[in-house]
Structure 1
Amino acid sequence: MDTHAYPVTRSDAEWRARLTPEQYAVMRNHGTERPGSCALLYEKRAGTFYCVGCDQPLFESKLKFESGTGWPSFNDPVPGSIETTVDRSYGMVRTECHCSRCG
């Protein structure tokens, strides 16, 4: 369980009211979207991608690229906007990226 204290916190009820069920599963339960299922994968407009949990700017569209993974990929985040956690579940090592402000 993540015990890190973030600057933006909400109760479970507040998170559920703010997020769709899929967003909640990904953001609060460390879930993963199916590859190719995210509408942002195909987003081409210029601008900034913001955290749905706290509205912090995360990525600039000019740094987005097609990685072939099925998820939106970016060269670099907005400085200070992303933190990482190592996940060793399911017999593998993965690096989870999350918003530095709300987790």
Structure 2
Amino acid sequence: MVTLNRADDDSIHLCGELDASGVRTLDGELKTLFGGAKQDCVLDLEALELLDVQAVIGMVELVRWLELNTNQLTLMHAPQTLAHTLYRLGALERNALRLIEPRQEEPYE
């Protein structure tokens, strides 16, 4: 389950674990927040864990939607799997998306 918390600087902190079963709920909550007038969107993903491939795909689709429906999208501390997927898809070449300090996950031992 993922919770959304708005910080004093208007960034949205996503906290918790996201898997296939939670993608639709998160999608609806963020689209409700950013479905009106275009504004800047800052998502802090430091406390978000993506548990399966469906969660990564869901986040990529949500990033695409936010790019189209916000002025500027900034992802802070994105999980490495998400950051790498966005890079491979060429999403980081678009001006509407900024990636700041993606996380460097430690390998499993």
TM-score over 0.5 (shorter chain): no
Q: TM-score, normalised by structure 2?
A: 0.28
Q: Which has the larger Rg?
A: 1
More strand by share: 2
Q: TM-score, normalised by structure 1?
A: 0.29
More helix by share: 2
